[in-house]
Amino acid sequence: MSHDVTITSDEWELSRSDLLPALTDIGGSLTVRANNQITRFLRALRHVVQDVTFEVWGHFCALEATSGNVDVAVALQTVGGNLTVRGCYVNVCGANLFPALTSVGGALRLADATDDRGRMRMGVTGTPHLALGALDIQNTLLRDIPLHDDATVAPSGSIIISSNTNLCQCQADLFLQRVRALGFTGSANATGVACATSCTGRAACP
């Protein structure tokens, strides 16, 4: 499909495995706006040429019953532009969001109260791993950077991490150490809040 796709719902739960079940590629941008929970959604989508935006003011889905992946766009592999997630949260420990995602050409943007009660991770890990053009995390409730340890940011890209109420400075520092060890040399503004204890690893599930 070469056009932009916009999906807007006022339903309590947007659970539509029958909506665009064969849609695999979008030549423009994808925008999804929902008032509460979305699940079983856009399961066949693999590639979006331009931007992807999810604005879900509530639960960001349930887990797939068999795999531990958040059941939205589970086959999504590449986003040519920015990937933005606003106002969403995943509340199951270890959930993986966009588990097939290998590449975001622009920035991964997490914003506006996006929460991480379940310590989610995003994208693939291993070979291949998730590669981002840039990273922008602002005004969230995250307690950790929700990426696997082998996720990379383009050497010439940028990282902005700021105004995240629950993110300890030491978690931001640990993340910067990891991506710099993997080749990131771009500009970085990564700030967190002061915490009573030091970080010895990733934030644990509550």
Question: Between 150 and 21, where is the model more confident?
Answer: 150
**pLDDT value of residue 115:** 63
Domain assignment present for residue 169? The answer is yes
Q: What is the pTM of this model?
A: 0.90
Question: How far is the first Cα of the chain from the last one, in angstroms, to the nearest whole number?
Answer: 42
Nearest to 15 by CA among 52, 50, 49, 64: 64
As a whole number of angstroms, the distance between CA 135 and CA 142 comes to 14
Domain assignment present for residue 201? The answer is no
Given a cut of 90, whether residue 14 has pLDDT beyond it is: no
Domain assignment present for residue 204? The answer is no
Domain that holds residue 26: 5-190
Count of structural domains within the chain: 1
Given a cut of 90, whether residue 105 has pLDDT beyond it is: yes
Q: Which residue has the tokens 């920035």?
A: 107
Structure tokens at 50: 């331009």
Average pLDDT on 142-147 reads: 88
Domain assignment present for residue 195? The answer is no
Question: Over the stretch 153-183, which tens digit does the pLDDT of each residue have?
Answer: 999 999 999 999 888 999 999 999 999 999 9
Question: Phi first, then psi: what are they for 6, rounded to 5°?
Answer: -125, 130
